[in-house]
Amino acid sequence: MDGFKKELENNILHFWEEKMVDEEHDGFYGAIDGKNRLLPKANKGAVMNARVLWTFSAAYRVLQEKRYLSMAKRAFVYIKKYFLDLQQGGVFWEVDYLGKPVNRKKQTYAQGFALYAFSEYYRATGEEEALDLAIALFHAIETCKDEKLGGYWEAFTEDWQPIADMRLSEKDENEAKTMNTHLHILEAYTNLIRVWPDERLLVAQHDLIRVFLDQILNTETGHLQLFFDREWNTKGDVISYGHDIEAAWLLWEAVTVLGNVELQDEVRLVAGKIAAAAAEGILPDGSMAYELKNGHLDKERHWWVQAEAVVGYQYMAMILEDETSKQRAEALWCYIQQHIVDKENGEWYWSRLEDGSANDQDDKAGFWKCPYHNGRMCLEMMAKGI
């Protein structure tokens, strides 16, 4: 496999540099739709902005291109100015195109991404303010913990009180705990450990890994369960193949930074089992299906699922010395290049529909679509000399 650096710089990052910088109202535009039309007054999400900050910070750290530092600084300043809640702590969920908060809820998922981004900006620049902000978010997230049964509550009001609607999006179940939020706290804590290996953080990461092994993983099927009530009872019947394979490699990263050999051996076996279960979603053309819900296989090929599967199977090829995983990663990368990359307009399509057509109804860039999954894929593969 090759071409990851070229894809990262010439197609993904270039798109965001050229088309998403909001010179009039600061930061980045809220959206470009699936037909490549700019929506200059679209609302701006904390998650998208944090992911942009993480991506350009990581790109600068690896490639040392000053223009990537400029983009990272732009995102850093914007998040501080418009998303940070200076009174109650944490970050707001959503602002309008002028930067005015329009949804002040404290989604634990968003706190995790802001921490992930600030810690990466610190790794890239050494700016102490970024580390201080990341540590403050760690403490905020720890107040969201279920001290009795483990794990983290899903969402809160602006002042950290219980909230009726805890969903990330309309597609999600309104439950107290979710796999998705725990996964992205996990990756954020992994990154923070690299620059701040505080004992409290190490304990929290260990406990979080155990939550995945003991609560979230279905030990019979190898899949991750997605939604849970307050007592960790599973709710719903959905298998998310992309989250499965993403979790396989993020769990390995998470345990590696801890240096716990015994737990590392356990996670190695579990990661292999999860990756094997995720392979149930691999389609004949080498791509990965979206999900299995109530027995129905959704064969839409989402951009992020393909990207995470490339990384996940490449990890499995290395830690398990598994040739089949290597072949899966290669086939997925071929599919991405042929069907997901938008060679005419830049960036990636949201997805290919089951009939093979490009999805032009969902955003090219926006609240959920940003250079994080595909940019990180390129960076991860470059780091492995691929």
Can you spell out the DSSP letters for 6-44? Answer: HIIIIIIIHHHHHHSB-TTTSSB-SEE-TTS-EETT--E
Q: How confident is the model at residue 301, as a pLDDT?
A: 98
Could you give the 3-state DSSP secondary structure of residue 106? strand
Mean pLDDT of 337-349: 98
64-90 tens-digit pLDDT = 999 999 999 999 999 999 999 999 999
DSSP-assigned letters across all residues of 341-374: B-TTTSSB-SEE-TTS-B--SS-SBSSS-SSHHH
Cα-based torsion angle of the residue sequence 285, 327, 365, 111 in order, rounded to the nearest 10 degrees: 130
Q: How confident is the model at residue 1, as a pLDDT?
A: 65
Alpha-carbon distance of 283 to 299, in angstroms, equals 8
**Structural domain boundaries, residue 22:** 4-383
Q: How confident is the model at residue 170, as a pLDDT?
A: 85
Tell me the angle at which helices 128-142 and 179-195 cross, rounded to the nearest 10 degrees.
Answer: 140
Q: For a pLDDT cut of 90, what percent of the chain falls above it? A: 97
Q: How confident is the model at residue 17, as a pLDDT?
A: 98
Alpha-carbon distance of 40 to 26, in angstroms, equals 11
Mean pLDDT of 52-69: 98
Indicate the helix (H) or strand (E) that contains 102: strand 101-103
Mean pLDDT of all residues belonging to the chain: 97
Cα-based torsion angle of the residue sequence 192, 195, 197, 198 in order, rounded to the nearest 10 degrees: -80
Does residue 385 register a pLDDT over 80? no
Q: For a pLDDT cut of 70, what percent of the chain falls above it? A: 99
Q: How confident is the model at residue 386, as a pLDDT?
A: 67
Mean pLDDT of 222-236: 97
Q: How confident is the model at residue 127, as a pLDDT?
A: 98
Region of residue 65 (phi > 0: left; psi between -120 and 50: alpha; otherwise: beta): beta
Mean pLDDT of 269-290: 98
Mean pLDDT of 134-152: 98
Does residue 108 register a pLDDT over 90? yes
Could you give the 3-state DSSP secondary structure of residue 320? coil
- Residue 252 sits in a domain whose CATH number is 1.50.10.10
Does residue 58 register a pLDDT over 80? yes
Could you give the 3-state DSSP secondary structure of residue 156? strand
- What are the distances in angstroms from CA 24 to CA 14, 21, 28, 32? 20, 9, 10, 16
Please report which confidence band the pLDDT of residue 384 belongs to, taking 50, 70 and 90 as the band edges.
Answer: confident
Q: How many domains, in total, are found in the chain? A: 1
Q: How confident is the model at residue 290, as a pLDDT?
A: 98
22-35 tens-digit pLDDT = 999 999 999 999 99
294-337 tens-digit pLDDT = 999 999 999 999 999 999 999 999 999 999 999 999 999 999 99
- Residue pair 352/361 in contact by the 8 Å Cβ criterion: no
169-201 tens-digit pLDDT = 988 899 999 999 999 999 999 999 999 999 999
